[in-house]
Structure 1
Amino acid sequence: MEEFLTIIFRTIFFYALILVIFRLMGKREIGELSILDLVVFIMIGELAVVAIERPTVKLFHAVLPMVLLMAVQIIMAISSLKSKKFRDLVDGKPSIIINRGKIDEEAMRKQRYNFDDLLTQLREKDIRSIADVEFAILESSGSLSVIEKQKGSDSSEAKSGDITIPLILDGTVEEENLQRINKTNLWLRQEMKKKGYRDLKKISFCSYENGKFYIDLMDEE
């Protein structure tokens, strides 16, 4: 009877503890979990199961590694906010699978992403044909973001749109994105100078879309 009550108590206790831990680690949708988040969540869940199934294990010995994992996850999350390189290393980068209606096979190979995966995710978004897609971006979470072609007055034609291209993130110039739009670092710096921004490190976010810039400065401390 005592062991039965212990299991009930531990189940309720670890249920409450896991809720608190996940709450402290921040709100994220299941589909947006990074590999790091997923590993931490699985390990915390496994530790809780072991502690419930083995009442002889001291409560402190079960709680300590769970709290330690929470601390590691929070520290790494803060580090990813401050460092773009660290964020790319941990979470990975989004990949453009379809660019202006053209499939990028090289990007698919790099992500080990096949046409069955692409068609499945397009069907999940109620898109019947790849021909209807202007941009498809494979996010770091594994989800597919899709921008459909905009139909013009003539139904047989579609207007080519554009997507937001981040050129500066956390004060760091995104060289790959500059190459994607056939621009150089020098061009970007000259454009920023024209707008009164001489120190790119003070720019938190700068994007380029349809020939227009969106610029956000870092918060002043």
Structure 2
Amino acid sequence: MITAFARTVILYFLIVVGLRLMGKRQIGQLEPGELVLTMMISDLATVPMQDFGIPLFTGIIPILTLLSLSLLISQLALHHLRFRALVCGTPAILVRDGKLQQQAMRKNRFTLDELLEQLRGQGIATVADVKYAILENSGQLSVLPFEDKQPPTAQQLGVKITQQVTLPIVVINDGRLLSKNLAASGHDETWLAKELKKRRLTSHRQVFLLTVDGQGSVFCVKKEDP
């Protein structure tokens, strides 16, 4: 039992570290090679987990080999455009100036139903409203409508923005005071105590979430009783 636990923990952390080296990607954003690598690693890891007769290194060595190969290919693709196009592919334009590029759709085996579904998912009813629809290497469809079909910006409407949006800083997270974040927000514990008192709270442990933005706006959510 201890052996099974130890082997599983070792392989788990090895795979987690390896996938982190691949970068932050969701499954739907993986390149074809990355998806194949993920599937192969998962299959390789299950064998030494289930069969204790197989040495642990028999599973670790192929995993490390695949990860090393993936890192090598990533570095080559980073510095060589032709190699990148060969391994990762190139984006394909499926719609150009409101016209379907049928040859590109056939080459990528992208059906008309799939295209229309993707357009509807982005709030576009007809192909005629699309200036460019680009099938990315990850399989995602990037859609750029014509300028007159896009929502107006504040600049186009002549609206002057007086305050810039800033990312709120989390000061209290599930009852835990994040002192570094509090200092980064430009406030101290005296200020925090006053803010809690305004909300009839006596301790930060009573707060589920408290954030403050660059304009000094405070957002506070009290903890619910269990």
Q: TM-score, normalised by structure 2?
A: 0.62
Give the equivalent residue in structure 2 for 1:48: 45
Q: Distance in 1 between matches of 2:89 and 2:34?
A: 13
- Structure 1: where are the runs of 5+ without partners? 153-221
- Structure 2: where are the runs of 5+ without partners? 150-226
Q: Which amino acid aligns with 2:122?
A: K
Q: Distance in 1 between matches of 2:118 and 2:47?
A: 36
Q: How do residues 78-93 of structure 1 correspond to structure 2 at under 5 angstroms?
A: 78-93=75-90
RMSD: 1.5
Q: Distance in 2 between matches of 1:34 and 1:9?
A: 32
Q: TM-score, normalised by structure 1?
A: 0.63
Q: 1:124 to 1:50 in 2, by over 3 A?
A: farther
Give the equivalent residue in structure 2 for 1:22: 19
Q: How do residues 128-167 of structure 1 correspond to structure 2 at under 5 angstroms?
A: 128-151=125-148
2:98 and 2:131 in contact (8 A); partners too: yes
Q: Distance in 1 between matches of 2:70 and 2:47?
A: 21
Residues 28-86 of structure 1 show CA distances to partners (whole Å, capped at 9, x for unaligned) of: 33332111111111111111111111122111111000000000000001111111111
Q: CA deviation at 1:132?
A: 2.1
Matched, 1:101 2:98: yes
Q: CA deviation at 1:128?
A: 2.2
SS of aligned partner of 1:151: helix
Q: Distance in 2 between matches of 1:104 and 1:59?
A: 51
Residues 118-151 of structure 1 show CA distances to partners (whole Å, capped at 9, x for unaligned) of: 1121222232222221110011111100011222
Give the equivalent residue in structure 2 for 1:191: none
Q: Which amino acid aligns with 1:88?
A: A
Higher Rg: 2
